[in-house]
Amino acid sequence: MHPSLPPTFPGATPLVVRLLVAALALGVALAGGRAWRATRRACLGALAVGAALLLLDDAVGAVLSHGQLAFQGTGWLIASALVQAAGLSLLAWGAGHAGQAENSTWLLGWLTIASCAFGLLLGVLPSIAWQLLGARAPGEPAPQPEWTLLLGLGCTAALLSSLRHRALARSGHALQERVHELGAAQEQSQQRETALQQQYEQAAQGRRQQQDSVEQLARRAANLQAVLQSSLSLNRRQELGQVLEAVVESAHERLGQPRVLLRLYNSRTHLFEARAFAGLPENEVRELRNRDVTMEDFLSAARAGAGLGGCAVVDPWAPPPPSSSPLGWRAGRQLVVPIRGDDGAVLGYLGVDEPNGVQVPAAETAELLEALASQAAIAIQNAQLHGQLERKNLEVSMANEKLRDLNRLKSNFVATVSHELRTPLTSIKAYSDTLQAALDDMEPQTVREFVSVISAESERLTGVIDDILDVSRLESGRAPMVKESFNFSALCQEAGVRMDAQFKAKGLRLRLECPPSEVVLSADRSAIEQLLVNLLDNALKFTPEGGEVRLHLEEEVSLARLVVEDSGIGIPEEEMERIFDRFYQVDGSTTRAYGGQGLGLAICRDIVEWHDGRIWVERAGGRGTRFVVLLPRKELVIHSNREDSSDVSERMQREEFLQLLTTLTAELMGTRIASIMLVDPASDALRIEAAVGLEEEVVHGARLRKGEGIAGRVWSEGRSILVHDLRGDARFAGRMNDVQYSTRSLLSAPLRRGTHVFGVVNVNNKINGQVFDEDDRLLLEALGERLVKAFDSLEAYRVGHHRLVAARSALRAILDVSRDRWSSLRELVARSGLDAARRLGMHEDDLRALAYVLKTYDLGLARVGEQILRKISPLSAEDRERINDHVRAGAELATEVEPLAKVRQILYHHHENVDGSGYPDGLAGEAIPVGARLVRLTDVFGALLHDRPFRRALSLDEAVALIREGVGRRFCPRVSSAFLAAVEGKRREFHTALTVLGGRSATAAPSTASALPGAPTPPSGPPVPAGTGGGAS
């Protein structure tokens, strides 16, 4: 290059332009640096490119000037300046931003500074090289001072920026570290806080648990105290009902059981009876009461309960058996807590349920209830013992009284016997004394008279001695009495005729009212004769001159009713029961006055009892006495299929049993004919086992195959058959002419165990001449069930004699009840009861049970004694106890022949009043089984319509009004309205029955008079005092 050129070339650009370019470059670099966030690579790239551009510009300049090439001109200058500017600005930008670049480290800062220094060097070096190589004119300003300046500026800026950045980065780091540290510290403190909280929670839980257990202990203590208090309050009560109430109240109030039920085991009905409740609505209570829980139910529940796992309480907590799970008590939720006596026998149980509870009861609940139950057991046993003790006391005092009576009777006997012996003796002695003293002076006529008196008095003495002997003979049971069949009617007439002279002698009239037809009696003829004579003699003695004695004989279904009525002095009510006692004298002076020896009636009673009859005395009309004797009329025809039985006593038992069953059937059904047929396995045919009212040849000849005749059909079909009219019935074709069918209606019912029919019971010829109806069918079916039970007892005879004896006495009692207390009126009342039951919507099974109960409910009364029932004077405590006891006795009796718990319950509770004032348990309201409430009503209603010694019979309207009065107190309102509606529906029939009864009692009609149209003999009825009139309006 030529020397002139260099000055032109570098210096060609004026200084101002160069400064402007540099300032521009710096401005671009700064602006760009702000605008973009440069990366490290971009900074390094910018530095490298900037340096390269500067080098290139200088190198070109150097080459040109070296080659003496001069490029003069503005274009060149501008291009060079632009290249330099670009290089510079890139360099400045790169340097300026290298320090600021993100993530730059101090190393990068130093690199930048190094590159700047390198750039400076590059900028300085060409200048130096220019000066060394170039032919520069001296004095010429050093080329490109702006380079140095710029580079210095850039380097300084970069350095400063880098330093600032580093400081910033360093403080950022520190801050970040600090933040990290702080974070870690926070975390630690959080952990510590959590730990603390956990500790706190644990502590709180511990405290809570502690508190809980304290509370639990307190509660347990409170509960145990409650049990203790319950026990104290329980033991303060003596009356059983109160004790039971207290038990459930304790469970309910003190132990907080929401629903409590207590059932007590009744050993007479063999049922757990619902006796006390708490927290239960009325409808559930009613439902619970009507549910029978048997011992089997209870035991199966106990067994089921024993399997309850996890239960702290041992046997037998249990859910109720599904069959007895009562309304609203969910199965599996009920706890049954047995109440056990000292000997472990179950007295009853406490049932509680926990609607919110769990399947398995809380051990605590269980424990408390068990504690309560054991206390309850003691209290219940105490109450029962107390009751027993009271009864025992009464029994003892009654027994004492009896002993005293007996003692009195004995001394009375001795006195009486001596008196009876002395009286004729006195005459004998007086006459013989007189004869002895004055025989010589006496007229022969007088002597004869005296001797005959002596003879008569000796006779009399003999009679007294005979009586005494008779009594002892009967008493010792060695009476040689033999049964034979004879016409009782004829015997009565003979006796009457024979004694007529004596009556005439005393100015008395003897009226004989004997049916003209035969009344066959199977009895000891001479004993019955003695009975008649004694009764007539008694009437003769106690009837004053001008009076009348009536001997009345009446034939009934299976018995004869003998009535001897006088218009004499009467017997005081309180004596009526005792006049049959041996040697009992109403009062000494009367005996003397009437010459009674006090033995006649005792002998009568012995004779009647020997014949399985009954005798009692009642007031006749206003004054006078009526003796009533019931005697079994006719021997039954028994055809035993078991004649092969070698055991004679067994055969006799069986025969007696069959006799009872057949008689009972005829009595209850009111029929003249009844027969029991059994399937004879040998011939596979039905044979008559026992019958009443059938001829012997009929009984022995009858043999029916399955499906043959009515009975055969009953056998094959297993259900009862009611024939309204034999003539129109194809099943009975050809047998119509049998004389035995005086009515055309017949009823047969099967005897069966389960579905197996083993016999048939038949009845026909209703005594009132009517045809059988649905009520009769119900009754016979019900009776059939009892007959089966009775046969079962007979079977059990081999096992134990006592059951047979018990069953026999039960049957006899039923028979007594039906014999003594039945009339067309009673029948009508019973039918009204059945009608009421239908109106109440009772189930067929219940109806059947009721049909039977309505006929026999006063079972126990047969054991009370007629005399008490007919008493006029207020009853003594002893009498009342005996009457109260009859219900217990009845239920006990019933147990032997009664298959249905329902019936036993009705029998047991039919004297309860709806307000709780009745007996024997004092139940109230719905607690009384509905059947018992109904029987209560029919019982009272029937009694009101009959004469009683202390009042005359009421009219129908009066009786209805009295019943209405008693609604709510004695009678259940619901049952009463159904019953009264039923009575209203039978008003016409009632009027007929009452008229018949009134007519009978008022006029003492001849015995052959028909009570009902078409009836051959009047139906049996309770003796109605003559003269007081019936209750007919």
Distance CA 760, CA 783 (A): 12
Specify the residue, 450 or 772, whose C-beta has the smaller distance to other proteins: 450
CA separation (Å) from 558 to 638, 818, 827?
15, 11, 18
Distance CA 909, CA 923 (A): 8
Record the tokens describing residue 945, joined without a space: 């319509």
Specify the residue, 343 or 443, whose C-beta has the smaller distance to other proteins: 443
Specify the residue, 442 or 533, whose C-beta has the smaller distance to other proteins: 442
Distance CA 468, CA 773 (A): 54
Q: How far is the CB of 456 from other proteins (least distance, A)?
A: 7
Helix axes 987-1003, 973-985, angle to 10 degrees: 80
Specify the residue, 168 or 437, whose C-beta has the smaller distance to other proteins: 437
Specify the residue, 457 or 846, whose C-beta has the smaller distance to other proteins: 457
- Please count the other Cβ atoms lying within 10 Å of the Cβ belonging to residue 772: 21
For residue 948, give the DSSP letter. B
Specify the residue, 176 or 434, whose C-beta has the smaller distance to other proteins: 434
Distance CA 736, CA 164 (A): 144
Which residues contact residue 201 at a Cβ distance below 8 angstroms, ignoring those fewer than 6 apart? none
Residue ranges that bind other proteins, judged by CB under 8 A = 415, 418-419, 422-423, 425-431, 433-434, 437-438, 441, 446, 450, 453, 456-457, 588-594
Length of the chain: 1033
Burial of 742 (0-12, 13-18, 19+ CB in 10 A): middle
Q: How far is the CB of 422 from other proteins (least distance, A)?
A: 4
Q: How far is the CB of 586 from other proteins (least distance, A)?
A: 12
Q: How far is the CB of 590 from other proteins (least distance, A)?
A: 7
- For residues 504, 525, 562 and 498, what is the CA-based torsion angle, rounded to 10 degrees? -10
Q: How far is the CB of 580 from other proteins (least distance, A)?
A: 22
- Please count the other Cβ atoms lying within 10 Å of the Cβ belonging to residue 646: 6
Q: How far is the CB of 575 from other proteins (least distance, A)?
A: 17
Distance CA 598, CA 592 (A): 11
Specify the residue, 590 or 809, whose C-beta has the smaller distance to other proteins: 590
Q: How far is the CB of 411 from other proteins (least distance, A)?
A: 9
Q: How far is the CB of 415 from other proteins (least distance, A)?
A: 6
Specify the residue, 429 or 705, whose C-beta has the smaller distance to other proteins: 429
Specify the residue, 461 or 726, whose C-beta has the smaller distance to other proteins: 461
Q: How far is the CB of 596 from other proteins (least distance, A)?
A: 11
For the chain, report the end-to-end CA distance as a whole number of angstroms.
Answer: 175
User: Which residue type sits at 456?
Assistant: A
For residue 263, give the DSSP letter. E
Distance CA 505, CA 510 (A): 11
Q: How far is the CB of 469 from other proteins (least distance, A)?
A: 21
Specify the residue, 108 or 464, whose C-beta has the smaller distance to other proteins: 464
- Alpha helices, DSSP H only, in 68-144? 74-98, 106-133
Q: How far is the CB of 458 from other proteins (least distance, A)?
A: 12
Specify the residue, 591 or 762, whose C-beta has the smaller distance to other proteins: 591
| CA angle (1012 as vertex; 1008, 1017 as ends), nearest 5 | 35
Strands 334-340 vs 614-619: parallel, antiparallel or unpaired: unpaired
Peptide bond into 138 cis (omega under 30): no
Specify the residue, 320 or 424, whose C-beta has the smaller distance to other proteins: 424
CB–CB of 775/844 below 8 Å? no
SS (H, E, C) 338-403: EEECCCCCEEEEEEEECCCCCCCCCHHHHHHHHHHHHHHHHHHHHHHHHHHHHHHHHHHHHHHHHH
- The helices-and-strands tally (H runs, E runs) of the chain is 29, 19
User: Which residue type sits at 516?
Assistant: P
For residue 573, give the DSSP letter. G
Record the tokens describing residue 1007, joined without a space: 């015995």
CA separation (Å) from 227 to 350, 366, 368?
14, 13, 7
Q: How far is the CB of 450 from other proteins (least distance, A)?
A: 7
Specify the residue, 140 or 433, whose C-beta has the smaller distance to other proteins: 433
Which residues contact residue 99 at a Cβ distance below 8 angstroms, ignoring those fewer than 6 apart? 108, 109, 112, 158, 159, 161, 162, 163, 164, 165, 166
Q: How far is the CB of 441 from other proteins (least distance, A)?
A: 8
Q: How far is the CB of 573 from other proteins (least distance, A)?
A: 21
For residue 967, give the DSSP letter. B
Report the largest interatomic distance among the alpha carbons of the chain, rounded to a whole angstrom. Answer: 237
Specify the residue, 591 or 663, whose C-beta has the smaller distance to other proteins: 591
Specify the residue, 362 or 421, whose C-beta has the smaller distance to other proteins: 421
Record the tokens describing residue 187, joined without a space: 């975390």
Q: How far is the CB of 501 from other proteins (least distance, A)?
A: 18
Specify the residue, 451 or 652, whose C-beta has the smaller distance to other proteins: 451
Q: How far is the CB of 438 from other proteins (least distance, A)?
A: 6
For residue 771, give the DSSP letter. P
Specify the residue, 281 or 588, whose C-beta has the smaller distance to other proteins: 588
Q: How far is the CB of 426 from other proteins (least distance, A)?
A: 4
CB–CB of 695/733 below 8 Å? no
| CA angle (722 as vertex; 718, 724 as ends), nearest 5 | 160
Specify the residue, 37 or 592, whose C-beta has the smaller distance to other proteins: 592
Distance CA 731, CA 170 (A): 129
Q: How far is the CB of 405 from other proteins (least distance, A)?
A: 19
